[in-house]
Amino acid sequence: MTDVTAEGGKNTPSSPPLASSGRAPGRGRRDWPLYEVFVRGKRGLNHVHVGSLHAPDDEMAVHAARDVYTRRNEGVSIWVVKAAAITASSPDEKDPMFAPSGDKVYRHPTFYEIPDNVPHM
């Protein structure tokens, strides 16, 4: 197993793989890379991460994503990307990288006090 798990991209704290039964006939699903799946719900919206799956190649990943994640018109467009190709900001969701924005409250409109009688603002 590689050190890549779904939704993590690289940097995911990897854990030891669960013990395998040792059954490995030929080259099978065990070797298929993990793909993260993104779906555009409708025109005008961003693609949003919906989950992951394993597939032997990019094209089959798109086909599988269609069956697994869009059985009821959940989307108009699908992206798949190998989880191994994603670089994440850091191993921790609470990243010091985002801390600097914490003290820049002046970047938000609510920082500014405007009298109630000013229209359209």
Partner 1 sequence: MSAPTLDRPAAPDEVALQAQFDATIAADHRIEPRDWMPEAYRKGLIRQIAQHAHSEIIGMQPEGDWLLAAPSLRRKAILLAKVQDEAGHGMYLYSAAETLGADRADLTDKLIERKQKYSSIFNYPTQTYADVGVIGWLVDGAAICNQVPLCRSSYGPYARAMIRVCKEESFHQRQGFELLMTMMGGTGAQRAMVQDAVDRWWWPSLMMFGPPDDDSPNSAQSMKWGVKRHSNDELRQRFVDMTVPQAAVLGVTLPDPELALDPETGRYRFGAIDWDEFKQVLAGKGPCNDERIARRRAARDDNAWVTEAATAYADKHAS
Query: For binding to partner 1 (CB under 8 A), which residues are involved?
Result: 1, 5-8, 10-21, 23, 25-32, 34, 50-54, 56-57, 60, 67-69, 71-72, 87-94, 97
Cα–Cα separations (whole angstroms), residue 96 to 14, 104, 105, 107: 21, 14, 17, 18
Q: Which is nearer to partner 1, 68 or 76 (CB)?
A: 68
Q: Which is nearer to partner 1, 67 or 103 (CB)?
A: 67
Least gap, CB of 71 to partner 1 (angstroms): 7
Least gap, CB of 62 to partner 1 (angstroms): 13
- Of the chain, the end-to-end C-alpha distance in Å amounts to 54
28 neighbors 19 (Cβ within 8 angstroms): no
For 107, the 3-state DSSP assignment is helix
Least gap, CB of 44 to partner 1 (angstroms): 21
Least gap, CB of 48 to partner 1 (angstroms): 10
Residues 6+ apart with CB under 8 A from 74: 39, 41, 50
DSSP letter at 9?
B
Q: Which is nearer to partner 1, 27 or 108 (CB)?
A: 27
